C-alpha cells in the first residue's frame, strides 16, 4: 500500500469536517483564521484528505504532505502552530534595504522594533489596530513580542516631535538623491473632538467632518515619500506652502526643483521659493488674465511641426515672461485631445447655464457666471432677456486645447518640463494608497499624541509600500501584478512550528519565488 493511501492519526487541532452527499467526511485544515474588512471572523482552509469511517483516522491527500512536509504521518498531531511568514520576512528585508531599520534604531533605540512591527501590520491589514492581536497569532513576527491595540496606542503616544524631526533629518541625509520633488496636500477626516488641529475646511473627500491637512514631499526619481507635516484643517493649502518651504531647509532639503499644481500659484509662494533658492515647475490656472494673454499672444506659433513633442503628441514652445517681479519661463502647449475635450465641456456648460436661465422665469437678476457667455438685458426692474454671446464663445474656443506650465529653470526644454510635470501624478497615487489602501482616509484616534504618532507609523508603511510598488512595476514579470495580490501571495507562505520547536517551511510557488526575486529578497530570510 502506498504511503498516501495509508491512514494517519487525525490532527487534533485546526480541523473541520464537511460531509458529501455520498456520506464521505472530507477533512479541512485551517491555515489562517482572521477577521475580514467588515470585522467578521473568517478563515483560509484546505482539504487534507478524508476521514476513515472505520478507524476515524485521516486518509491523507497530496496537500496533507505539502503542509506537514518532513513530518512522519504518525506525528501529524505534533504541529504546534502554522503561521504566515512571507510578508513580514520580505518587509523586514526591505526595511533594511531602504535604511529604515538603521535609522529607526538610531532615533528610537527603545521602541524601533515595535514601531516597525506596527508599520508592517498597517501595510498588510490597514490602520484598525484592534485586530493586531489576531495578526500576531497568525503571523510570524520576529521583531517584537505580541502587541494589542492598547500597546499600540501607548506606543503612538510615546513618539515625540523631537524624535520625528531627528528621523526625517536622518532619512533625508540617508537618501541624499538629487531629484525633482513633488509637493502636494490632502486632508484626513476625523470624528474626534479632542484633536486640536482638526478643523473645518475644504474637504477633498466631501466628508462633512472636521479634518487634518497633510502636506507631503515625494521624490520623482525614487517615487518615495520624503517628508510630511500635518497642520490645521482650516489653513488653505497655498498658505501653508511657505512654511513647508522654510522648514524644509532645516531638514536638509536643498538643491531641488519643486513640482506643484496650479493651486500654489501665489506671489508669496513664488518669492519664497526665490528667497530659498528653490527652483519650481507649476501649472498656471487657465482662467487667469495673464494666462489668457499669454495664450492669445502665442497660440498661432505653437502648433508648428518644429514644436511637436512626439512622446506626448502635443505641441509646445517657451517664452520668457515677468510675473510678480520675477523672470520666469512660460511653456505654452497645445494638445489636440484636450481641444476636443475642452470644446465638448464648453458646450455642455453653455447648455446647463441656458437651462438655468430659462428656469429662473426671468424674475431674478442674472449673476456673473451667466454674463461670461450670455448677453443679459436687465433694463427692466424684474425682467431680463438673454442671448448667447458668440464673440466670447469664439474667443474661448480659440483657446481650447492650450495650457501653460511655469518654471524658473531656463535650462529646461518644453518637452522636459512637460515630462517632469506629468510624472507628478506619483504623489496623487501615493495619497490614494495612504488614504484608501492603508486606510488613513479617516483617523481612528482620539487624542493629539496618538494621532501624530500613528501618522508617523503610517508614513513608514507608505515608504515600504512605495518601494515595493516601484520594484514590481519596473519588472515585466510583475508589472501587471497588483500590490494587494502580491501581499496575498506572500501571506500564503507558511511556517510550521513542531512540538520540538523545529520549523518547517511549506514549499514556495513559482509566483512567490518571483516576487521575492523582484524585491531583491533572498528566500533564505524565511529561515532566519
Range from 186-200, 299-313, 340-354, 452-466 carrying the lowest mean pLDDT: 186-200
**3-state class of 514 per DSSP?**
helix
46-82 confidence digits (pLDDT tens):
888 899 888 888 888 877 876 765 454 445 445 677 8
Range from 368-377, 425-434, 441-450 carrying the lowest mean pLDDT: 441-450
**Residues in the chain, total:** 528
**Residue 237 pLDDT > 60, yes or no?**
no
Give the span between the Cα atoms of 499 and 227, in whole angstroms. Answer: 47
Give the span between the Cα atoms of 473 and 518, in whole angstroms. Answer: 10
Whether residue 198 lies inside any domain: the answer is no
Give the domain range for residue 379.
337-398
Whether residue 528 lies inside any domain: the answer is no
CA dihedral (424, 425, 427, 428) positive or negative: positive
Range from 158-167, 291-300, 368-377, 411-420 carrying the lowest mean pLDDT: 368-377
What does the pLDDT read at residue 74? 46
Whether residue 9 lies inside any domain: the answer is yes
**Residue 453 pLDDT > 80, yes or no?**
yes
Phi, psi values for residue 312, rounded to 5°: -115, 0
Q: How many domains does the chain have?
A: 2
Which domain-ending residue is among 85, 106, 121?
A: 85
Specify whether the CB–CB gap between 58 and 27 falls below 8 A: yes
Whether residue 221 lies inside any domain: the answer is no
Tell how strand 180-190 and strand 314-323 pair up. unpaired
Within 13 Å and on the Cβ side, how many CA atoms surround 36? 6
**Residue 1 pLDDT > 50, yes or no?**
no
DSSP state of 9: P
Whether residue 348 lies inside any domain: the answer is yes
What does the pLDDT read at residue 99? 94
Whether residue 517 lies inside any domain: the answer is no
Task: Label residue 30 by pLDDT band (50, 70, 90).
Answer: confident
Which domain-ending residue is among 85, 109, 125?
A: 85
Range from 4-13, 71-80, 486-495, 509-518 carrying the lowest mean pLDDT: 71-80
Mean pLDDT of 157-163: 93
Which domain-ending residue is among 369, 398, 427?
A: 398
Whether residue 63 lies inside any domain: the answer is yes
Whether residue 268 lies inside any domain: the answer is no
Could you tell me the end-to-end alpha-carbon distance of the chain, in angstroms, rounded to an integer?
39
- What residues have CB less than 8 Å from 516, skipping those under 6 apart? 90, 508, 522, 523
Beta bridge partner(s), residue 190:
443
Element (H, E) at 29: strand 25-35
What does the pLDDT read at residue 2? 37
Specify the pTM: 0.71
Give the span between the Cα atoms of 423 and 455, in whole angstroms. Answer: 26
**3-state class of 95 per DSSP?**
helix
**3-state class of 496 per DSSP?**
strand
What does the pLDDT read at residue 334? 96
**Residue 239 pLDDT > 70, yes or no?**
no
Which of 465, 366, 343 lies closest to 95, judged by CA?
A: 465
What does the pLDDT read at residue 439? 55
What does the pLDDT read at residue 301? 95
Amino acid at each position: 500500500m502506498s504511503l498516501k493511501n495509508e491512514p494517519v492519526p487525525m490532527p487534533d487541532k485546526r480541523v473541520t469536517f464537511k460531509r458529501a452527499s455520498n456520506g464521505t467526511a472530507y477533512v479541512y485544515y485551517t491555515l489562517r483564521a482572521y477577521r475580514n474588512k467588515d470585522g467578521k471572523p473568517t478563515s483560509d482552509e484546505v482539504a487534507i484528505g478524508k476521514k476513515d469511517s472505520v478507524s476515524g483516522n485521516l486518509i491523507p491527500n497530496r496537500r496533507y504532505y505539502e503542509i506537514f512536509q518532513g513530518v512522519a504521518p504518525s506525528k501529524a498531531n505534533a504541529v504546534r502552530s502554522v503561521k504566515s511568514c512571507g510578508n513580514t520576512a520580505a518587509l523586514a528585508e526591505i526595511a533594511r534595504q531602504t535604511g529604515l531599520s538603521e535609522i529607526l534604531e538610531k532615533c528610537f533605540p527603545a521602541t524601533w522594533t515595535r514601531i516597525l512591527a506596527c508599520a508592517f501590520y498597517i501595510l498588510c491589514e490597514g490602520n484598525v489596530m484592534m485586530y493586531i492581536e489576531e495578526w500576531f497569532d497568525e503571523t510570524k513576527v520576529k521583531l517584537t513580542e505580541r502587541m494589542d491595540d492598547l500597546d499600540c496606542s501607548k506606543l503612538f503616544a510615546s513618539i515625540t516631535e523631537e524624535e520625528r524631526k531627528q528621523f526625517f533629518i536622518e532619512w533625508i541625509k540617508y537618501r541624499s538623491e538629487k531629484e525633482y520633488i513633488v509637493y502636494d496636500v490632502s486632508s484626513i477626516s476625523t470624528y474626534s473632538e479632542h484633536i486640536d488641529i482638526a478643523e473645518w475646511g475644504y474637504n477633498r473627500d466631501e466628508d462633512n467632518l472636521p479634518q487634518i491637512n497633510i502636506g507631503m514631499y515625494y521624490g520623482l526619481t525614487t517615487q518615495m515619500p520624503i517628508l510630511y507635516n500635518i497642520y490645521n484643517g482650516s489653513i488653505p493649502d497655498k498658505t501653508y506652502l511657505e512654511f513647508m518651504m522654510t522648514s524644509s531647509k532645516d531638514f536638509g532639503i536643498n538643491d531641488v526643483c519643486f513640482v506643484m499644481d496650479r493651486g500654489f500659484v501665489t506671489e508669496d509662494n513664488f518669492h519664497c521659493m526665490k528667497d530659498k533658492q528653490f527652483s519650481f515647475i507649476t501649472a498656471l490656472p487657465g482662467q487667469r488674465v495673464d494666462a489668457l494673454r499669454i495664450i492669445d499672444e502665442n497660440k498661432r506659433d505653437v502648433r508648428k511641426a518644429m514644436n511637436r513633442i512626439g512622446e506626448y503628441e502635443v505641441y509646445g514652445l517657451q517664452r520668457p515672461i515677468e510675473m510678480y517681479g520675477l523672470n520666469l519661463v512660460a511653456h505654452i502647449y497645445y494638445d489636440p485631445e484636450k481641444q476636443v475635450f475642452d470644446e465638448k465641456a464648453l458646450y455642455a456648460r453653455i447648455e446647463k447655464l441656458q437651462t438655468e436661465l430659462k428656469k429662473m422665469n426671468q424674475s431674478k437678476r442674472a449673476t456673473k457666471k451667466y454674463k461670461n457667455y450670455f448677453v443679459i438685458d436687465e433694463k427692466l426692474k424684474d425682467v431680463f432677456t438673454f442671448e448667447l454671446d458668440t464673440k466670447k464663445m469664439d474667443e474661448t474656443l480659440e483657446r481650447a486645447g492650450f495650457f501653460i506650465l511655469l518654471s524658473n529653470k531656463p535650462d529646461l526644454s518644453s518637452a522636459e518640463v512637460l515630462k517632469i510635470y506629468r510624472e507628478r501624478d506619483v504623489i496623487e497615487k501615493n495619497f490614494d494608497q495612504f488614504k484608501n489602501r492603508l486606510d488613513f482616509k479617516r483617523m481612528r484616534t482620539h487624542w493629539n499624541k496618538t494621532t501624530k504618532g500613528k501618522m508617523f507609523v503610517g508614513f513608514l508603511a507608505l515608504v515600504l509600500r512605495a518601494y515595493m510598488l516601484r520594484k514590481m512595476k519596473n519588472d515585466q514579470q510583475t508589472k501587471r501584478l497588483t500590490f494587494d495580490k502580491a501581499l496575498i501571495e506572500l501571506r500564503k507562505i507558511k511556517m510550521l512550528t513542531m512540538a520540538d520547536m523545529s520549523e518547517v517551511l511549506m514549499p514556495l510557488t513559482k509566483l512567490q519565488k518571483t516576487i521575492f526575486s523582484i524585491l531583491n529578497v533572498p528566500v533564505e530570510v524565511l529561515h532566519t
